Structure 1
Amino acid sequence: MRIDRPEQLDRAVIAALARSEQRIVLSDDLLATVAANRRAMLGDLAGDEPVYGVNTGMGAMAGVRLDADGQARQQNTLMIGRAVGSAPWLRRAEARALLVSRLRTLLHPAAGASPGLCLHLLALLDADVVPAIPLRGGAAGEIIPLAHAGAVLIGAGQVLDPAGLAIDAAPTLAAAGLSPRPFEAKEGVAFLEGVPGLTGLAVLAAAEVRTLLNQVVIAAAASHAVIRAGPDPLHPALADSPELSEVLASLRALLGPDHRREGRALQAPVSFRVTAPAVAVAMRAAAAVEDAADRALGAVTDSPAHLDGRFVGTFGFAGTDLVATAGALTTALIHLAELGAARLHRLLDGALTGLPRQLSDSPGLHAGMVTVHKRAVGVIHRLRRFAAPALIGTMETSLGQEDVQSFGFEAAECLGEAVGGLRDVLACELLAVHQANLIGAPVPAVIDEIAAVVPAGTADRPFGRDLDRIISLLEGGWAGGISAGSSG
């Protein structure tokens, strides 16, 4: 794909590049525009005006002026001294998403980056040389994880081997036919500023959440069928938004026109009745993350940014928008996980299902799904630790120069934990639905693929292995052979 304008590097292209599903080239016209922006920036940099991080120190050292030798060395030392993170590392797709998001923001005129830096970054992506970037970002924007990425460009730092382990970057660059490229004037500052890491992670997470919400709707419909809950909570007139209308329509379609109008109880348990609006809330939260990512991709994120012929200090490193929206999505997903565990617990109740207690094929001899539910409960308890908003927790660094932090990587980590935890709970629910089907409960045919990945039979066995197979199926994008309304 040829990129003629920065806007073409949108969320869809970033996700495809992150997963190594696409390659791009930067057009000559785009590179010429980048070069013109670079020349204008260098012209304004030629005077004696102090420019933060270029001819001065950074943070509390901003008042220290650098001589010519210091300026020549500083853009590279910015990377070396700030690469203080360590394992666990971002996964390959996540690290690549950071690099692509960084490339997009370096194409912005305010960055003043050179065509050479942009092409070098693209060469790393093409060669699949993936920096080892710490999952936990620390404070002061993203300078720590970005320093790890930048160190690789100059031949230092570490990269991920095929097993995901960190190894020295220099031999890998050489094997890929790449040479280290030092950062030129102001390029190191531009590389360290902004929130390309959180942006890239948010792009991947939002796409993952869209798939996961489809799967939640399928599991909820199947559980609805097991307890033979009445269709009243699915009435189309209850929709208060387009998102809820889609979810309710999907649930009705999954259950089919022959779904019993009379339930075993006058009303289904609350966890069943409120699942649809909770999915709608998560859909809106995912859309908010996507909108925030779009804003971040097109925003001025450099500080100082080259604007109207002068260098302007900005707030682009804070990522407040993305941190706040990621936190809201995290909360919505954890709530969905709690509802899933509650529905699962109801499936074990013979008074609701008409099936043997705990979905055991031989009560007393076999425990059935009760311990599967206990696993889900443990996941929920752990997830609650990640529900605290990362935006809260002001701490000073750099001798007070940086007196507020937004902790973007921590927000991304919490969101990732919520995604993984919800998927785990969902696998538990789907296994219980499958077990219920085998011992007599009619469920929608969309879960037939679950039977294809787990062993036959209903007797007790190491169900953790079954859950691993179901989780793998969910991670692969399983949608029961349909496209549910919550795909967004």
Structure 2
Amino acid sequence: MINDPAELDPASADFIELAPALLERMAAIRAAALQTLESGEPVYGVNTGMGNLSKVRLTEAEQRVHQRNLLLGRAVGSPPWLPPDEARAVLIGRLKTFLTGDSAVSIGLIQQLVALINSGHTPTIPSEGAGSAGEIIPLAHAAGPLVGLGWLQPPTASENRAPTGAEVRMPTSATTPPGATSGGSASPARAVDGGAELRRADGFLPAFVLAPKEGIALLAGTPGAAGRAALHASRVRRLADQLTAVAAGAIAVVGANRDPYQALAARGDDVLAAEFGRLRELAGPEPEPRSLQAPVSFRVAGHVNAHVRRTLQQLEEAVERAFTGVTDSPAYLDGDFVGTAGFHGIDLAAYCDHLTTALVHAAEVSTARLHRLLDPSVTGLTAQLAREPGPQAGLVAIHKRAVATTHQLRRLTLPTAISTAETSNGQEDVQTFSWEAVGNLAEAIRLTRQTTACELLAVRQAFALSARPIPPRLQDLIQAVDDVVPPIDADRPFGEDLTRLLTNVL
């Protein structure tokens, strides 16, 4: 039972039920807002047009259809669609902002949104093309099914499936939506025609009729970027632990000098000190080091991973601000409708960019360590970690894949908010492209997992060829690798091994 919007987590919320007291509070705000609207004073997007057309006052007849029309004309996106887990995070983000009361929407619309979330079906929301102040285009797609518009994807258990239009299919009795196909895999995803009925957990949900202020409320703010960022932050938390564990494995298997990870070397930096502690614990007791100094990619592991964790914390704080601050415009505040600029998601965009760059650097350092793991002068093992160097190539191609992946990653580091453009005849003359920033973060997570898998496979093979014992705190990780990757005694299609690691271990 949700009593406060802070209890809703876009990364983990399951079945949602709102407490009666919370709904009563929303109903009271809605009643007061409707009374305020009776004054006839101009309220942006309610009794006026939007954007450059906000100077146009709407008649009562026009107002009755205006809120639904706001969604119709702005759903200009197309595939690739967001994967269902990200689309669900957008819906939960929208719900969280509604429950602050700033949108002053009816409890009927709130309950409609909850029903859609609980159904497990998710709207087809474009992952690209949000070139406006705020998120009007993707939010029009997200909100469409609430009023009988657009398309829905069925529930899926796949968290890391790439968003492609070909995943969306229609029933044979309906028209095929953009991006859908009539063919495909043996068990393709299917879209439900939002123009008929919305599928919910225990039946069907009829299309909702929007009342004053509710259409513009569905399009307001940055709930999509905030919800997606919350989801990706939860994934980075896990990825950060994996980065640490794999780096510790590399440190242990080459017998790297442990001096760089001593607590004294983290003076004044609690995040770094904690990371040093994790590396020392995971890497186990220090043996006689092979050299006075290991390569830099080993020595800086603590600093690199601490930076990932620090920037992750900064993004989580930005997400919290996005959900607790005023992002609606107009927002219903203290009895009045107030035009705001809370839709300008510079906070989210900047910290998504920051975390993306931190992950790219971590992937580059991981790839450098992987290269060193193939070098006998560093490991004391066979060249390229091959059982029989020469007749066998070993893991050299694994490193080449990691190099290609880091090359892809580097192209994600261009800051998203440095390019502005005018839209809506100059009414919207700057954007932050926070939707793009959170999309870049998602891609950075996906690719960094790949480089981590490459290094993990090399660490496992190095332990297999080494007389060094596997540290106690890493034995579960190595066993998880062994459960899905057979011993490497000869060359084989190692891409299959990496896929198993990405699917079952990382």
On whether the aligned pair clears a TM of 0.5, the verdict is yes
Structure 2 partner of 1:370 = 396
Q: 1:287-436 residue pairs with structure 2 within 5 A?
A: 287-436=313-462
- Check whether the contact 2:246–2:452 (CA below 8 A) recurs between aligned residues: yes
**CA distance in 1: counterparts of 2:230 and 2:457, whole angstroms:** 30
Further displaced range: 328-337 or 171-180: 171-180
How far 1:174 moved relative to its partner?
Answer: 5.3
Q: 1:26-37 residue pairs with structure 2 within 5 A?
A: 26-37=18-29
1:16 counterpart (12, 20, 45): 12
Aligned residue for 2:332, secondary structure, equals strand
Q: Does 1:189 align with 2:216?
A: yes
**CA distance in 2: counterparts of 1:91 and 1:66, whole angstroms:** 38
User: Counterpart of 2:503 in structure 1: which amino acid?
Assistant: S
Q: Does 1:242 align with 2:273?
A: no
Q: Does 1:160 align with 2:153?
A: yes
Which structure 1 residue ranges, 4+ long, deviate > 4 Å from structure 2?
none
**CA distance in 2: counterparts of 1:6 and 1:341, whole angstroms:** 41
TM-score by length of 1: 0.92
How far 1:202 moved relative to its partner?
Answer: 0.9
How far 1:299 moved relative to its partner?
Answer: 1.3
2:198 counterpart (146, 170, 173): 173
Structure 1 partner of 2:177 = none
**CA distance in 1: counterparts of 2:386 and 2:323, whole angstroms:** 52
**CA distance in 1: counterparts of 2:231 and 2:18, whole angstroms:** 23
How far 1:309 moved relative to its partner?
Answer: 2.6
Q: Does 1:218 align with 2:245?
A: yes
**CA distance in 1: counterparts of 2:154 and 2:111, whole angstroms:** 23
- Check whether the contact 1:216–1:426 (CA below 8 A) recurs between aligned residues: yes
Structure 2 partner of 1:148 = 141
Structure 2 partner of 1:452 = 483
Which 5+ residue runs of structure 2 have no aligned equivalent? 157-166, 170-190
Identity of aligned residues (%): 47
Further displaced range: 446-455 or 115-124: 446-455
Higher relative contact order (CA 8 A, sep 6+): 1
How far 1:129 moved relative to its partner?
Answer: 2.4
Q: Per-residue displacement from partner, 1:273-313 (whole Å, max 9, x unpaired)?
A: 11101111111110111111111111111101112332211
**CA distance in 2: counterparts of 1:215 and 1:309, whole angstroms:** 49
2:40 counterpart (36, 40, 48): 48
**CA distance in 2: counterparts of 1:456 and 1:357, whole angstroms:** 17
TM-score by length of 2: 0.89
Q: Per-residue displacement from partner, 1:130-150 (whole Å, max 9, x unpaired)?
A: 111111142221111100011
Further displaced range: 312-321 or 162-171: 162-171
**CA distance in 2: counterparts of 1:415 and 1:249, whole angstroms:** 27
**CA distance in 2: counterparts of 1:184 and 1:307, whole angstroms:** 19
Q: Per-residue displacement from partner, 1:123-177 (whole Å, max 9, x unpaired)?
A: 1111112111111142221111100011111111011135752532245615741
Structure 2 partner of 1:208 = 235
How far 1:438 moved relative to its partner?
Answer: 1.9
User: Counterpart of 1:15 in structure 2: which amino acid?
Assistant: A
- Check whether the contact 2:52–2:427 (CA below 8 A) recurs between aligned residues: yes
Structure with the bigger percentage of helix? 1
2:293 counterpart (262, 267, 271): 267
Q: Does 1:72 align with 2:64?
A: yes
How far 1:403 moved relative to its partner?
Answer: 0.5
Structure 2 partner of 1:103 = 95
- Check whether the contact 1:56–1:62 (CA below 8 A) recurs between aligned residues: yes
Q: For this pair of structures, how many residues does the alignment match?
A: 465
Alignment CA distance shift 1:174-1:229 (3 Å): closer
Aligned residue for 1:177, secondary structure, equals strand
How far 1:457 moved relative to its partner?
Answer: 3.1
User: Counterpart of 2:139 in structure 1: which amino acid?
Assistant: L
**CA distance in 1: counterparts of 2:380 and 2:320, whole angstroms:** 50
**CA distance in 1: counterparts of 2:380 and 2:315, whole angstroms:** 42
1:132 counterpart (124, 132, 139): 124
Q: Does 1:61 align with 2:88?
A: no
Q: Does 1:90 align with 2:82?
A: yes
- Check whether the contact 1:193–1:301 (CA below 8 A) recurs between aligned residues: yes
Aligned residue for 2:343, secondary structure, equals coil
- Check whether the contact 1:157–1:169 (CA below 8 A) recurs between aligned residues: yes
**CA distance in 2: counterparts of 1:339 and 1:121, whole angstroms:** 44
How far 1:94 moved relative to its partner?
Answer: 1.0
Further displaced range: 169-178 or 353-362: 169-178
How far 1:441 moved relative to its partner?
Answer: 5.0
**CA distance in 2: counterparts of 1:441 and 1:189, whole angstroms:** 66
Aligned residue for 1:306, secondary structure, equals strand
Q: Does 1:284 align with 2:310?
A: yes
Alignment CA distance shift 1:187-1:205 (3 Å): same
Which 5+ residue runs of structure 1 have no aligned equivalent? 476-488
Q: Per-residue displacement from partner, 1:222-270 (whole Å, max 9, x unpaired)?
A: 111222111111111111422111111111111222x21x322221111
